[in-house]
């Protein structure tokens, strides 16, 4: 996990938040917090890869006691600029193995975070770790994108996922090993601009929903529900992401 620690460094942490926009927009956070609060059922929640508190802070503001696990010291430092340890306690460590306590009603990870674990063993261990944190009958919520292999042109291993002024997102696939590297290219949209392009790369291991369900079963969970998004829209063959709710056995 050393490489992941380097990826989420001070510069990334300081520029991660986009208040009111993108994944920080109210129409994104509102439904997310609403679903998680309902699933917590008045109990405590733990967020795996809590980051800078994008979801944890509004969830705590909504009355759900939240703890977290986060690998990156820099992301924790950014979170601490907003809330203290008493408000949202955080354990620094790997979400596949670090312990933040037990008897939680809800464990969750959002925004494709489980794909940051780049081996199948680590992803299986993440489910097992979620089970260790939960009380019997608790639930584990995973938000994850659906691999877009159908978008790959014949003979090519990459796709352009986003093309905006000043920003390109290019995903390159290694389908043999179920890996994808996201290339984030940021540049001056003005052709006469002098700023050099900056490239950041993040590796992932993509997971099909069916494989995720098997990981859950190995850890003692069963799939309770799956939606295309936090608004509860139906998950279909055309969905590009999903929110999956896994329930831990009550015995």
Q: What are the pLDDT digits (tens) for 31-90?
A: 999 999 999 999 999 999 999 999 999 999 999 999 999 999 999 999 999 999 999 999
- In terms of DSSP H, where are the helices of the chain? 2-7, 10-14, 26-40, 56-61, 73-80, 120-133, 209-218
What's the rounded Cα separation, in Å, for the pair 61 and 216? 30
Give the helix/strand (H/E) hosting 198. strand 198-205
Residues 19 and 102 reside in one and the same domain = yes
**Overall number of domains in the chain:** 2
Tokens representing residue 2 in the block: 């050393």
Residues 63 and 102 reside in one and the same domain = yes
What's the rounded Cα separation, in Å, for the pair 94 and 76? 13
Whole-number pLDDT of residue 1: 41
Give residue 8's pLDDT band: very low, low, confident or very high (50, 70, 90).
low
Average pLDDT of the residues of the chain: 91
Residues 137 and 187 reside in one and the same domain = no
Give me the phi and psi of 234, to 5 degrees please.
Answer: -60, 140
Which of 233, 251, 250 lies closest to 242 in space, CA to CA?
Answer: 233
What's the rounded Cα separation, in Å, for the pair 155 and 120? 26
Give me the phi and psi of 79, to 5 degrees please.
Answer: -60, -40
First-to-final CA distance of the chain:
33
Contact, 173 vs 161, CB < 8 A? no
Residues 31 and 69 reside in one and the same domain = yes
State the pTM of this model: 0.90
Single residue among 168, 184, 204 that ends a domain in this structure: 204
Higher pLDDT, 117 or 4: 117
Tokens representing residue 6 in the block: 């380097």
Residues 108 and 221 reside in one and the same domain = yes
Residue 14 has pLDDT above 90, yes or no: no
Place of tokens 């999903």: 242
Contact, 134 vs 242, CB < 8 A? no
Whole-number pLDDT of residue 13: 52
Residues 154 and 77 reside in one and the same domain = no
DSSP category for residue 170: E
Question: What integer is the mean pLDDT of 11-36?
Answer: 80
Residues 23 and 90 reside in one and the same domain = yes
Higher pLDDT, 1 or 60: 60
Residues 233 and 168 reside in one and the same domain = no
Which of 87, 96, 97, 42 lies closest to 67 in space, CA to CA?
Answer: 87
Whole-number pLDDT of residue 153: 83
Residues 68 and 174 reside in one and the same domain = no
Question: What integer is the mean pLDDT of 127-143?
Answer: 98
Give residue 2's pLDDT band: very low, low, confident or very high (50, 70, 90).
very low
Contact, 107 vs 48, CB < 8 A? yes
Domain hosting 164: range is 149-204
Contact, 54 vs 78, CB < 8 A? no
């Amino acid at each position: 996990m050393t490489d992941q620690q380097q990826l989420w460094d001070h510069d990334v942490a300081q520029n991660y938040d986009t208040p009111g926009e993108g994944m920080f927009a109210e129409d994104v956070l509102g439904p997310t917090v609403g679903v998680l609060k309902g699933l917590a059922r008045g109990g405590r929640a733990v967020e795996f890869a809590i980051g800078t508190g994008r979801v944890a802070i509004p969830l705590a503001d909504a009355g759900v006691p939240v703890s977290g696990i986060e690998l990156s010291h820099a992301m924790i430092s950014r979170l601490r600029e907003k809330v203290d340890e008493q408000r949202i306690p955080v354990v620094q460590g790997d979400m596949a193995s670090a312990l933040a306590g037990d008897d939680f009603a809800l464990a969750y990870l959002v925004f494709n975070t489980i794909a940051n674990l780049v081996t199948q063993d680590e992803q299986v261990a993440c489910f097992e770790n979620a089970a260790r944190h939960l009380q019997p009958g608790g639930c584990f919520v995973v938000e994850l994108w659906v691999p877009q292999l159908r978008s790959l042109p014949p003979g090519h291993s990459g796709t352009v996922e986003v093309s905006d002024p000043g920003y390109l997102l290019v995903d390159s696939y290694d389908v043999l090993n179920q890996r994808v590297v996201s290339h984030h290219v940021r540049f001056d949209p003005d052709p006469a601009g002098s700023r050099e392009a900056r490239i950041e790369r993040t590796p992932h291991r993509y997971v099909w929903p069916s494989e995720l369900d098997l990981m859950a079963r190995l850890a003692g969970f069963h799939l309770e529900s799956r939606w295309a998004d936090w608004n509860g829209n139906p998950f279909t063959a055309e969905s590009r992401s999903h929110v999956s709710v896994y329930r831990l056995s009550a015995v």
